[in-house]
Amino acid sequence: MENNSKIALFIDADNAPAAHIESILSELASYGVVNIRKAYGNWKNSNLSPWGEKLHDNAIQPMQQFDITKGKNATDMALVIDVMDTSYTKNVDVICLVSSDCDFMPLATRALADGKVVIGFGERKTPKAFVNSCSKFLYIDLKGPEKPIVKSDKSVAKKIIHIKSDTKLMNLLRTTVEAVEDDDGWARLGMIGNHIANHTSFDPRNHGFKKRFCRNNYQKA
């Protein structure tokens, strides 16, 4: 993904804590410019009050949706309609969805089919169906205030042991290496990353690594 992409940000405020919006915008800045910023919810609801100052400070447009019928989520419907409208009428490269709600899985899948890159942000409770439907998905509850951290060899070793116990993840890594390796048995990290990106929303930061995940965790037998 180029770092000059045009990005549209859509926030399901009912299912996304306001505290992480700055981290989300900082992450998106590495991909391009967030030209469209919208957050959806019933702003008369006191549960959304933490969003008030965040919306103003970060130039996010609040989209009001009243709770017309109990049990029916008008917010989700309004967000879906706006995403589809934006995809067809605006010149955007990336659709960013901030929510922990699995109901947006079909939306992400459709946006991908329309040629958009889909970046998702949500909490650890986000269902895998939605996570895997995105081009990239990052867990916002792993993001906190930036603090200088000195990592010991022991802390890195613990992460490696934890990752190696994840059979599904290790199988993905193993089959990817086998798919891109050359005749001498070597696989370039760049090719590994590209191959994984085309098959899953995997991101090493969700497992405590910023980079070089493969080098730390894979050793071919």
Task: List pLDDT tens digits, range 46-83.
Answer: 999 999 999 999 999 999 988 765 655 788 999 999 99
Rg (CA), the chain: 19
Which architecture does CATH list for 5-142?
3-Layer(aba) Sandwich (3.40)
For the chain, domain boundaries: 5-142, 153-217
Q: Angle at CA 9, nearest 5°, toward 203 and 139? A: 30
Q: Which helix (H) or strand (E) holds 156?
A: helix 153-164
Edge to edge, the sheet with strand 94-98 lists 61-64, 32-41, 5-12, 94-98, 117-122, 136-139
Burial 6-32 (b: 16+ CB within 10 A, else e): ebbbbbbbbbbebebbebbbebbeebb
Q: Angle at CA 173, nearest 5°, toward 168 and 176? A: 120
pTM recorded for the entire structure: 0.68
Q: What would the pLDDT profile of 11-47 be if each residue is shown by its tens digit? A: 999 999 999 999 999 999 989 999 999 999 999 999 9
* Residue with tokens 């190696």, as numbered in its chain: 164
